[in-house]
Amino acid sequence: MKTIYLPELCSEEELNTLKGHHLDDGWILHLFDEDVDLFSEDGKFILSFRKKLLKETEVGFENYKKMINPSRGRGASAGQIDPDLLYWKKRNLTNTNGISTSYTVNGKVSKMKINNPVYSTPIGYFDKSNGGLGKHLPCRLTSFTKPNLKEYEAGFPFLKEIAENYKSIRPEEYNKQL
């Protein structure tokens, strides 16, 4: 396994200007074809990459992959609103602001801002919320998990395998997250 220390590519301020933008391949400076741990120059852990660590036939991954639907609430990760995309051409957009937009339905402007649709959906449970969207919400199932509870639970061995590998590779970070 290789350990690599990388210099900082840009400042936090420069990174903030990139929020909501998809980066092109010019940002790829290293390709790894082997197990590697990456650290910043000052020794701060960045990530671990392991090849073929998980079983490719794991039922959980297949279950989750089949059930994921596009989400419109993923913020900057969904990128800039492009009114020329087919999805947006079908809607009457209003108050578009970079990564989010409202739209008009039957002459009324929606109160909720939405983002580009992306296949990135939270599964499992949400922690209790203390005021998100003006509501105090208890711990609850995500909108993905509730109708797919049997399939979600069938994937537990897959999630357990991920957790066990994470614990063995980065025990300190695992314990913090636990």
pLDDT in tens, 148-175: 888 888 888 888 889 999 999 999 999 9
Long-range contact pairs involving 79-86 (C-beta distance under 8 Å, separation at least 24): 79/20, 79/21, 79/22, 79/116, 79/118, 80/20, 80/21, 80/116, 81/115, 81/116, 82/116, 85/116
**What pLDDT sits at residue 134?**
65
Do 92 and 178 fall within a single domain? Answer: no
pLDDT at 115: 84
Q: How confident is the model at residue 59 (pLDDT cuts 50, 70, 90)?
A: low
Look at residue 13 and tell me whether its pLDDT is greater than 90: yes
Same domain, 96 and 75: yes
Whole-number mean pLDDT of the chain? 84
For residues 4 and 76, state if they share a domain: no
Report the percent of the chain where pLDDT is more than 70: 93
**Which domain, by its residues, includes 8?**
1-51
Shared domain for 9 and 39, answered yes or no, is: yes
Distance CA 11, CA 44 (A): 16
Rounded CA-CA distance 156/153 in Å is: 5
- Same-domain pairing of 88 and 99: yes
Confidence of residue 131 (pLDDT cuts 50, 70, 90): low
Same domain, 113 and 143: no
For residues 47-55, give the mean pLDDT: 88
Q: Domain boundary residue among 120, 136, 158?
A: 120
Q: Do 84 and 134 lie in a common domain?
A: no
Whether 39 shows a pLDDT value over 90: the answer reads yes
As for how many domains the chain has, the answer is: 3
Domain co-membership, 137 together with 177: yes
* Same domain? 65 vs 135: yes
Maximum Cα interatomic distance, the chain, rounded to a whole number of Å: 60
Query: Do residues 88 and 126 both lie within one domain?
Result: no
**Ranges 6-15, 47-56, 113-122, 133-142, most confident:** 6-15
Domain finish residue from 120, 138, 157: 120
Residues 128 and 106 in one domain: no
Check: pTM over 0.75? Answer yes or no.
no
36 beta partners: 2, 49
Q: How do beta strands 36-40 and 2-6 pair? A: parallel
Residue 55 has pLDDT above 80, yes or no: no
